[in-house]
Structure 1
């Protein structure tokens, strides 16, 4: 039988020990009484869809959210952005495109990586790639300086955190296509000084660095010798190595050389798009996770669902025939109304659920620490999923993840913690080399 007296008074013949024991017991009781109540775990899966969406909006706004790839700078160039005046004013709601300040705020997007995009065609003219990169960087800086109450440049995770605390949208930059380096290795450090924090090694064609996933011509069967030097130099100066767009062999070569984790700033899982090398195979996802890297899921229709291309082609063909049969043009209001109605009734677009499937797949393969958002907003045209047409709709995706059992901590990792970990590791390694 339990001796309660012995439990309460364990030292009957030792007054000092007894006194000390009672004091400790009292402190323990007081300490227990002062403990805050355990935080109640919210079961988001038990909520209604409407309740879950409201919870997702709250999470989106209190959590830093990073998007690995938004093509706003090139959209500004096409839209006529000049140093004299901003024809495309994204400080206010815009009638087209996927990104502007009001919609970014609505969706809780805090740090869209501005894509300094260099088309592969620029590679044909010496100096053209670097010149375009400089121009787009200048446009991005101009956006921040023109609207300092809305946007701010960001060159590190701590910059993003400081801007978030002020309610500003951070504008970190990544250069899409390493052709901006031209044939001069010193340009890697030059672009680091200009604020570039990742470089996508290739784009639609092989360049001086390596082979592209989109290019049937394989000049090097991976990285070139120059490309190997570029990866090492990116490590040295603190630029993240971005392996979106590269061929599988280039991907493997870069992983073998890099001393720090890498990213894929806007790629999805090849499991759902068989034969589409631009997306990542399970083998590459596992290799990236072993490296400590992060794959940031692209929202574009052809990246998310292999059925999208066929479905959209059928819709497009029908609408072209309708215009011809009714002697209409794309600008006619009658055609616009019909096209909207027909497309809605024959919706070829993927859904938010399909995007969540890609996140689920990465998590099932390698865990929650190796996935993020890399929407490709303003870069994939009108192919975006239903429910994810612009930056205001991020809560729809978060709500779907909550419905599938993801916790708030899981969401925080996907939103920013995973990419911050890689970014900080790259910064720390560069600091150790100086």
Structure 2
């Protein structure tokens, strides 16, 4: 079945559809220069979103050593120069409005703590910018944590404080369904028309505690309301641009990116092919359309429907996005709002086998660095994208909380 895919079947190309025939991709990945390797190894690299906790929760793997599956393990992270991957404390939307959502979040935090306990010479929990900086100097990989889906808060500011104390430093307000905090970009029901009354209270309290507000996944209205309420910059921990994926509300449009820039925030580019490429979006939409048509004609339990996925992928090879297309997203943010507002939020271990050519796992950040060098970015600007911009926002959030 391929790697674990945490997104709902209807929202993402599941790994099972990506085993078999693929579209040929002509992009040649340029060799990585000594300069690119040096930048990757000598710079703090913050990735805004990596789904290791949910991956090992579903099927245990010791990521302190080389693993056959997944996109992250310690050897590959060291090879790629990855320094501070935000561990995603992802709670499925199916658990919304249940005590189980809170329990699962704590279990996933336990798993991150266990990674550090088992390998303290390799990993360390990071709860502050100072932790990340100090641990980088020691050669450790920092593991800050962000909660994907605010459902585990369960309407309780006490729960929010507990999660802060355990190390949660951003919260993605919603995921694939609207919850008690905010409407989701994926959910046709817009019960709150943005943020709920509690969601508005929550954003303010996140500011006060020092938890970054993450607007990835939320509806456009929820984004604008969060920006309006927040007294500090917000982030999009793993989002890309709607310019290149028309109609895909999960990504941000140009007006939203501009508003994010005015707010001082950062959009961290998601690497998943369906986030990056219109061709991949069209492939997914066509698959869904044709399958639904067949279900209507033949019945959901028919042999034809059972055989559809395999037949479709053989006749229509999956069109992976490319490293160049990911760089296009970075370029466009820079064109719109400048170099100070873009970062990387790969979604490694969260998007199945849909990753672009040249960016298949955490060993490949030097390819991204080389691509930026080839496009004329200076080392100073590359360092901002790799970590400087996110660390700036995190520092501003810390300073505001310290004063409140």
TM-score tier (shorter): 0.7 to 0.9
Verify: 1:377 aligned to 2:361, yes or no.
Answer: no
Instruction: Say which of 69, 79, 89 aligns to 1:106.
Output: 79
CA–CA distance in structure 2, aligned partners of residues 190 and 69 of structure 1: 21
Note the C-alpha offset of 1:264.
Answer: 0.3
Q: Is the 8 A contact 2:237 2:345 kept in 1?
A: yes
CA–CA distance in structure 1, aligned partners of residues 111 and 318 of structure 2: 36
Verify: 1:403 aligned to 2:374, yes or no.
Answer: yes
Verify: 1:308 aligned to 2:288, yes or no.
Answer: no
SS in 2 for 1:97: coil
SS in 2 for 1:391: coil
Q: Deviations over 1:87-134 (max 9, x none)?
A: x1101111111000000000011000000001000014x211111111
* More moved, 171-180 vs 183-192: 183-192
CA–CA distance in structure 1, aligned partners of residues 355 and 283 of structure 2: 13
CA–CA distance in structure 2, aligned partners of residues 289 and 399 of structure 1: 26
SS in 1 for 2:369: helix
CA–CA distance in structure 2, aligned partners of residues 49 and 97 of structure 1: 24
Q: Is the 8 A contact 1:315 1:346 kept in 2?
A: no
Q: Is the 8 A contact 2:280 2:318 kept in 1?
A: no
Counterpart of 2:184 in structure 1 is 212
Instruction: Say which of 119, 122, 128 aligns to 2:95.
Output: 122
Q: May I ask how many residue pairs the two structures share in their alignment?
A: 358
Counterpart of 1:67 in structure 2 is 47
Verify: 1:232 aligned to 2:204, yes or no.
Answer: yes
Please give the root-mean-square deviation of Cα atoms over the aligned residues, in Å: 2.3
Q: Is the 8 A contact 1:200 1:241 kept in 2?
A: yes
Instruction: Say which of 180, 188, 212 aligns to 2:160.
Output: 188
Verify: 1:93 aligned to 2:66, yes or no.
Answer: yes
CA–CA distance in structure 1, aligned partners of residues 358 and 104 of structure 2: 33
Counterpart of 1:170 in structure 2 is 142
> Where do 5+ consecutive residues of structure 1 fail to align?
1-47, 81-87, 318-323
CA–CA distance in structure 2, aligned partners of residues 168 and 104 of structure 1: 11
SS in 1 for 2:72: coil
Note the C-alpha offset of 1:66.
Answer: 0.2
The TM-score with structure 2 as length reference comes to 0.85
Q: Deviations over 1:9-39 (max 9, x none)?
A: xxxxxxxxxxxxxxxxxxxxxxxxxxxxxxx
CA–CA distance in structure 1, aligned partners of residues 257 and 281 of structure 2: 24
Q: Deviations over 1:312-369 (max 9, x none)?
A: 789999xxxxxx9xxx9x9xxxx9xxx9xx89x9561011000000000000000000
Note the C-alpha offset of 1:309.
Answer: 3.9
Q: Deviations over 1:182-234 (max 9, x none)?
A: 02122111111111000000000011111000100000100111000000000
CA–CA distance in structure 2, aligned partners of residues 264 and 193 of structure 1: 22
Structure (1/2) with the larger helix percentage: 1
Verify: 1:158 aligned to 2:130, yes or no.
Answer: yes
Counterpart of 1:264 in structure 2 is 236
Q: How does 1:312-331 map to 2 (within 5 A)?
A: none
Instruction: Say which of 33, 52, 58 aligns to 1:78.
Output: 58
Verify: 1:424 aligned to 2:395, yes or no.
Answer: yes
Larger Cα-atom Rg: 1
Q: Is the 8 A contact 1:144 1:151 kept in 2?
A: yes
